[in-house]
Amino acid sequence: MNLVTGATGLLGSHIVEQLRLRGRAVRCLVRRGADTRWLKEQGVELVEGDLTDIASLERACDGVQCVYHAAARVGDWGPWSEFQTITIDGSKNLFDAAETCGVPRFVHISSISVYGHRNERGLTIDETQPLGVKVHKWSYYTRAKVAVERELWRRAEEGCKVKFTVIRPSWLYGPRDRATIARIAKMIRTKKAKLLGSGDNILSVVYAGNVAEACILAADNPAAVGEAYNCCNDGDITQREYFNLLADALNAPRVKKVVPFKVASKAGFVLEVIGHMFKLKKPPLITRYAVWLMGRDTYFTADKARRELGWESTVKYTEGVPRTIDWFEGRPISAPVAPREPALAS
């Protein structure tokens, strides 16, 4: 039995999909009132609860061989209290429940943003780099992810019986992306989208299904215990090339307008200040985190995952972007290809 948290989200749903393609039994922790129609079609077991309900976490972890923890408070806006309660405290609750129930394997989904918001031309960041460098003041998502990782590594050092592996994805895209694709598509179609900087920087963006495959490879590999892996790209693609693929799939004009990176970053800071000053619930049009995500020059490498896990991106950008837009537009998409390995019993 495999437990997936965050299964109604982008990466969590792809982990479910990839596990089921392998014939593996899956249990999902879902909040009351969540849309579980897609999950029910996958033939998974559902346990109602959330990361703040320890009893529900222990029910969910009972008899589980591996936890895939993809749930978190996502986004680059919102009160710190929600990131503290859901991401930090909730993850601690799940770590406790896994240890109480004797779960042997645990794959924790982190983020490349845990390295901090560094933007140094020529810098390549691998898993040896320190965490939490130059984090923006109000980047609560990043701060929470750093706190959770530090808690996890502390437990590992103190001899926690649960065997952890950390996966650090970059900007994710793919079918069932309800966080960013609608906003980006609208900006492209209304010709409001702009390239940040020259647009020729190498973008760290990765198809969610490919990251899901990396998660399973890590769970299956004893050598991955106690390791962290960047899963942050499907090959080299520039910011301009990525937005061109999106525009072509949307049958919209390509993005040609540019804005200097520093100008966009300063504008994001001003909008953040205004937003926090007036305690606005709606996120600003742009934040420094969003600018950093798209326009940075720093490169993140996934060589370790490819070398140690044998991870290869099954879905390339030229296939993944049109698949994502087809899903967004409500068009049918082809089923993912089953992995080339013996299926395990459900």
Output the pLDDT for position 344: 40
Question: Is residue 222 in some structural domain?
Answer: yes
Question: Is residue 320 in some structural domain?
Answer: yes
Question: Is residue 317 in some structural domain?
Answer: yes
Q: What is the mean pLDDT of residues 168-180?
A: 95
Question: Is residue 52 in some structural domain?
Answer: yes
CATH number of the domain residue 299 falls in: 3.40.50.720
> How confident is the model over 246-271, as pLDDT tens digits?
999 999 999 999 999 999 999 999 99
Output the pLDDT for position 345: 38
Find the domain containing 27 and state its range: 2-328
The pLDDT mean for the chain works out to: 95
Predicted TM-score of the model (pTM): 0.95
Output the pLDDT for position 340: 58
Question: Is residue 337 in some structural domain?
Answer: no
Question: Is residue 64 in some structural domain?
Answer: yes
Nearest to 93 by CA among 143, 46, 64, 58: 58
What is the count of structural domains for the chain? 1
Of the pLDDT bands very low, low, confident and very high (cuts 50, 70, 90), residue 346 is very low
Question: Is residue 152 in some structural domain?
Answer: yes
Output the pLDDT for position 341: 55
- Sheet arrangement for strand 105-109: 45-48, 26-30, 2-5, 66-69, 105-109, 163-169, 228-231
> How confident is the model over 56-76, as pLDDT tens digits?
999 999 999 999 999 999 998
Question: Is residue 41 in some structural domain?
Answer: yes
* Torsion sign over Cα 106, 107, 111, 112: positive
Tabulate helix, strand, coil % of the chain (nearest 5).
40, 15, 45
